[in-house]
Amino acid sequence: AQCPSDDMDSFQDVSRHKYFNTNNLWLNLPALKAMLQAKDNILGLPMIRNSKTVDPRDSGSTPVYQLETAMGSAIGIFQGAGAIRVPRTRFAPVKTTEDLLAIRSDAYILTDDYRIVGNPERTLEQIVISLDKAYYKLIDDMEARFPHGAPSLIDCERLAITGDVTFGPDVVLSGAVQIINESDEQRQVEAGAVIEAEKVL
């Protein structure tokens, strides 16, 4: 939200920016208390303006600005603050329905100590998922199209879905998969289907 639109390509260039914010903060509470007391309880973090709609489920509802601050930017006001480098295996963000679908699939497992980690049986890099925003952006819309849970993605490197598609149980997706429904009607991937490439419904 703080990145100018002209710089977005550079901002998302992982060869230039190799580290990501895990949104995990470790605070020294006495230091925070001292800082708040010194600043009259105002840290003075930069303001972020996000364009939203009053009802996030209705893109036609009244447009508004959401004003917020990013706690991560506080690293700049604490003397001696630093970053801790953690491996990608400790970072499983869920900010979109694409992230949620991946986490719910067999590409990840829940450990005995309740950590979500990549499935050790998966031999591929992080899965890349692209879901049609018109049908999958909101969680209830996504769940309605995967009523039996996520398909098997353990051997899937990429998944792109275009159009309104629902999934039956026990679907297996492998390799680079693209599923396309160009019609105005909802189409279904049948139960037990195995898809390894492009599938037009």
Residue 21 has pLDDT above 80, yes or no: no
Q: What are phi and psi of 134, to 5 degrees?
A: -65, -20
Residue 185 has pLDDT above 90, yes or no: yes
Residue 199 has pLDDT above 90, yes or no: no
| Distance (Å, whole) CA 166 – CA 179 | 11
Residue 108 has pLDDT above 90, yes or no: yes
Q: Mean of the pLDDT values across residues 98-113?
A: 96
Report the pLDDT value the prediction gives residue 82, as an integer from 0 to 100: 87
Contacts of 74 (CB under 8 A, 6+ apart): 43, 45, 81
Q: Mean of the pLDDT values across residues 76-86?
A: 87
Tokens, residue 160: 């792109």
- Give 188 or 76, the one with higher predicted confidence: 188
Q: Is residue 133 annotated as a catalytic residue, yes or no?
A: no
Per annotation, catalytic residue among 95, 133, 137, 199: 95
Alpha helices in 41-195, H assignment, sequence order: 97-104, 133-136, 139-145
Q: Per-domain residue ranges for the chain?
A: 5-76, 88-200
Binned at pLDDT 50, 70 and 90, residue 159 comes out as very high
Q: What is the pTM of this model?
A: 0.77
- Give 106 or 81, the one with higher predicted confidence: 106
When the pLDDT of each residue in the chain is averaged and rounded to a whole number, the result is 91
CATH code reported for the domain at 88-200: 2.160.10.10
